[in-house]
A and B are shown apart, each in its own frame.
Chain A
Amino acid sequence: MSFGPFLLLALMEGLVTAAVLALAASGLSLVFGVMRVVNVAHGEFYMLGAVIAWFVTTLVPGPAWAGFLVALAVAPVAVGALAAAADRLVLRRLDYDPEATIVATIGLLYMIQQAALSFYGPDARPVAAPFDWRLQLPWFGYSGYKLFVVLAAAVVLLALWLFMTRSKVGLVMRATQVDRDVAQAFGIDVDLVYMAVFGIGAALAAVAAVLIVPIQQAHYLMGHDPLLLSFIVVIIGGLGSLRGTVVAALVIGLSDGVISMFFSPTLAKILATLLVALVLVFRPQGLFGVRDR
């Protein structure tokens, strides 16, 4: 394959990675930004979204797109509800103490993973794509669905941005992020905000998973990689910064696509990790993060 098409394929692959990563990482970033909780179970909420998508598409009769749309609605709500319950029952009782919540979410990680293993099983199961369209370029073919994933992720992120910047609820969340005590003094139910934020963060991971599951397959161990990559993205972009998360996801996704295609996927991971180290040394608050006041 000559250089041009090679680069094109690398960029397309990178864009898909970036899109899904941006969605998953924005959930992690939101939770950290508002609640200052490092959610280690984030990858398992992602996995749960994929597993629920498999159950839903199996149960819903009719064409593949119908099942997919139902999954796109049901999975984030179910995962968000579970996360909100976890916040209410576990995190709130720990008073959102940073160290304690890390340990608690590690516990949550294992509980969700083992529950999926028990109830869903150890197999990787495919979910049919909502439509079957392939883009045939002169040099290679490409899945039309993958392009749809990029588009859908962009729409969801735009909606999230509008929600955070233009809606009343978004304003309340941002107020809580800036100063929890003052927000409470102004009559904001901080507990409710935290519960909602944790739920929305998990729901974003679930949306990413429902979008990716027709490309990959639903598997109980699939949460590891997205968790690691989300952390990389969030650290580079700046914890709590949505804009930084999206920019970092694009950088990591596209460089992953290009480096892993021209060199090797292992090198791409090495460089991403190196970048994290450099950011932590020279700009610990991340590219777009704000230093603690």
Chain B
Amino acid sequence: MTNLLMPSRRALLKGAGAGVLAGMLPATVGAQAAPIKVGFQLHRTGIGASYGRWYERTVTAALKKINAEGGIAGRPVEILFEDDATDPKRGAEVVDKLTQSDGCDVVMGTLFSHVVMGSAPRAGELKVPYLVCSEGYHVASGALNRWTLQPGITDVRSQISSMAPWVAANLGKKVTMFYPDYAFGYDHRDHFSKAIAAQGGEMVAMIAIPPTETSFTRYFAQIPADTEVLYHVMVGPAVLTFVKELGEFYGTGPKPQLFGFVDSLEAVDTATPGLEFLEGSHFWEAHPRVKPADAGEFEAGYREAVGVDDNGTSVSDAKDVATYSHMFSTWETLHFLKQAMEAAGYTGPADRQKLVEAMEAITDLPYGPERPQGAKVFNGKTHQVFGVQHISQIQSGKLVQVHTTSMEDGMYEDAVDYTTMAF
């Protein structure tokens, strides 16, 4: 009779043999091609969920492409997604889990700036490269650390620097701003007011809205009567309510010119009933949702890979509108990671410092299938990438691209040199 407490000699030998075999197995496989593990901090739930859904789809498409083309330095790549509930506290825990328990080589993908602010210090402590896709100016401002980089999307300061001259020249100089009451909104508040002043304009009111707000009419009464341009940038699940109530508030009466960041409409159908008043208003877009007539040669291939049609909605569900002006950043960030890992000769977590140095050495990022949004320049000192921006106008319920900035429009002097900081 055998049982767990009194095993027979044969069972013991069998078990030992199996143990030895099992012990050898990963070593053999590992010698061939252990996958590179990329941890993805995903806003699957919480106020960033619609972004998270598209970030996951886009980076999964990029992963498929990279693996089909041989992976990174011949090694396959896998992505481990972990939900952070769009919550800063949970964000830091996710960075921890992905790095320490799951053994990821790098962590990437965070969009909401308050989550970035909550997570980046932990990435710095763990000494793991943390590639954010957030737009926040927090990377280039010097507020974060040597391990945090933003190589796939331009930051708010750069976007605003290139928008302000156009707004002042075409729409008006007295601006009232609506912005979310946290880090990302503060970037808009601080930099747009400076940028519009440089154009001879002024801010007549700046109205902060808490990120979890669900009702907005009460804020609209604070818009001064002499406002020429209403600048709005909202995020979260209530964006549709925000624009609808704005329409109700102005109704058929006179209204100022509207200029919005498309964040106020991401994942929202511009032809939704109640949004008719947006007709003729202008929006910043990083990557035009509706395919422009003069789109680059790699646009069609990218749309097909991520499953988005020429109107910017999912090919399988016309009601599922993409967060098109943000999601490309995950695609471009993964390709940037591939380029840097191959340049660094990255073999494992021991090479993380070499990897960051290789990223800092990258400058020119030409237009190509890796960068469907457009050519970019990476600034290794500020850890921030620069690129072109677009302005679109709503015409017949659709976003139509009417202006494209140059890369120089969005440049500004360096505020930090991360390369001089210790690892």
Contacts and interface: CB of A to CB of B under 8 A. Distances in A.
B298 interface: no
B345 interface: no
A216 B241 contact: yes
B237 interface: yes
B251 A141 contact: yes
A225 B214 contact: yes
Interface string A130-160: 0010101011111100000000000000000
A265 B44 CA distance: 29
Given A128-B273, A134-B248, A140-B250, A10 B238 contact: no
A265 B218 contact: yes
Interface string A158-176: 0000000000000000000
Contacts of B250: 140-141
Nearest to A1: B221
Nearest to B83: A122
A139 B245 CA distance: 15
A9 B221 CA distance: 8
Interface stretch (B30-38, B45-53, B166-174): B45-53
Nearest to A216: B214
B255 to A, nearest CB: 10
A6 B238 contact: no
Given A13-B218, A265-B218, A141 B252 contact: yes
B60 interface: no
Contact of B210 (A123, A216, A266): A266
A293 B267 CA distance: 56
Contact of A123 (B49, B214, B215, B245): B49
Contact residues on A (Cβ < 8 Å of other chain), bracket: 20 to 34
Contacts of B212: 225
A273 interface: no
B273 A117 contact: no
B221 A134 contact: no
Contact of B240 (A117, A121, A124, A222): A124
Contacts of A117: 45
B213 interface: yes
Interface in A218-247: 219, 221-222, 225
B23 interface: no
A291 B93 CA distance: 47
Contacts of A128: 273
A261 interface: yes
B95 to A, nearest CB: 21
A216 B215 contact: yes
B276 to A, nearest CB: 11
A142 B251 CA distance: 8
Interface in B283-332: none
Contacts of B81: none
B218 A124 contact: no
Interface string B245-271: 100111111000000000000010000
B251 A140 contact: yes
A141 B215 contact: no
A13 B238 contact: no
Given A9-B221, A217-B240, A225-B214, A123 B248 contact: no
Given A10-B218, A141-B248, A126 B272 contact: yes
Given A216-B215, A217-B237, A265 B210 contact: yes
B237 A260 contact: no
A215 B158 CA distance: 35
Contacts of B221: 1, 6, 9-10, 140, 261
Given A122-B49, A134-B248, A13 B240 contact: no
A257 B218 contact: yes
Interface in B169-226: 210, 212-215, 217-218, 220-223, 225
Given A122-B49, A140-B250, A143-B248, A217 B241 contact: yes
Contact of B253 (A124, A126, A141): A141
A219 B218 contact: no
Contacts of A123: 49-50, 53, 237, 267
Contacts of A140: 220-221, 249-251, 253
A202 B238 CA distance: 25
Interface string A87-131: 000000000000000000000000000000100011110101000
Given A122-B45, A143-B245, 18 more contacts: A1-B221, A10-B218, A122-B53, A134-B248, A136-B251, A136-B252, A136-B253, A138-B253, A140-B221, A140-B249, A140-B250, A141-B248, A141-B251, A141-B253, A217-B240, A217-B241, A257-B218, A266-B210
15 contacts: A9-B217, A9-B218, A122-B44, A123-B49, A124-B50, A124-B237, A124-B240, A126-B240, A132-B273, A134-B248, A138-B253, A141-B251, A141-B252, A216-B215, A265-B213
5 pairs of A and B residues whose beta carbons are closest in the complex: A141-B251, A124-B237, A122-B49, A122-B45, A143-B248
